[in-house]
Amino acid sequence: MTMDEVDRLVASWQQERPDLDVTPLQVLSRVSRLARHLDRARRASFAEHDLEPWEFDVLTALRRAGKPYELSPGALLRATLVTSGTMTNRIDRLAQAGLVRRRPDPEDRRGVLVSLTDDGRARVDAAFADLLRRERELLAGLGAEEQRALADLLRTLLTPFDA
């Protein structure tokens, strides 16, 4: 087995602090390093499609909603975990860019619905396909069964935090 940077880090700590159990570093330092690679891949994918990460988040929330690709601002808040003021600003900016449009909510005269424009849908679809290609490259060292096993282990680890 080839040693990686984390192996060297763990060995150094074991040498310097043999009184501590540094086992968590073997997993979590690798998760942290992988997260940095994933962040770079995402930023590159979004930039290639002239999107900011927050724009991608809002557009994908609308795209995942299915036809007619629209949600209320409140539903977008829940999907993206930002404040009301932040969401209003984001919707304004996306509308100015022609990626979304607002329309009155036929069920609530005071409400509005935010929907993807054709340009918004095309842009988010292309960015998402590119992102998946880059993510597949990050996972290329693992076979399909290993990827499923890792996904299962990570789900087990993360579930208590997501509750």
Give the model's pLDDT for residue 125: 97
Q: CA-to-CA distance for 120 and 94, rounded, in angstroms?
A: 9
Within this chain, do residues 143 and 63 fall inside the same structural domain, yes or no? yes
Residues 63, 121: contact at Cβ < 8 Å? yes
Residue range 103-124, pLDDT digits in tens: 998 888 888 999 999 999 999 9
Q: What is the mean pLDDT of the chain?
A: 94
- Between the two ends of the chain, the Cα-to-Cα distance in Å is 37
Task: Tell which of 9, 24, 48 closes a domain.
Answer: 48
Domain that holds residue 43: 1-48
Within this chain, do residues 95 and 150 fall inside the same structural domain, yes or no? yes
Residue range 77-92, pLDDT digits in tens: 999 888 889 999 999 9
| Residue matched to tokens 């990827």 | 147
Give the model's pLDDT for residue 32: 95
Q: CA-to-CA distance for 75 and 88, rounded, in angstroms?
A: 12
Give the model's pLDDT for residue 110: 87
Within this chain, do residues 41 and 57 fall inside the same structural domain, yes or no? no
Residues 33, 10: contact at Cβ < 8 Å? no
Residues lower than pLDDT 70 in the chain: none
Q: Dihedral sign, CA of 141, 131, 44, 161?
A: negative
Give the model's pLDDT for residue 130: 96
How many independent structural domains does the chain possess?
Answer: 2
Within this chain, do residues 68 and 24 fall inside the same structural domain, yes or no? no
Within this chain, do residues 106 and 135 fall inside the same structural domain, yes or no? yes
Give the model's pLDDT for residue 88: 92
Within this chain, do residues 60 and 98 fall inside the same structural domain, yes or no? yes
Q: CA-to-CA distance for 10 and 21, rounded, in angstroms?
A: 10
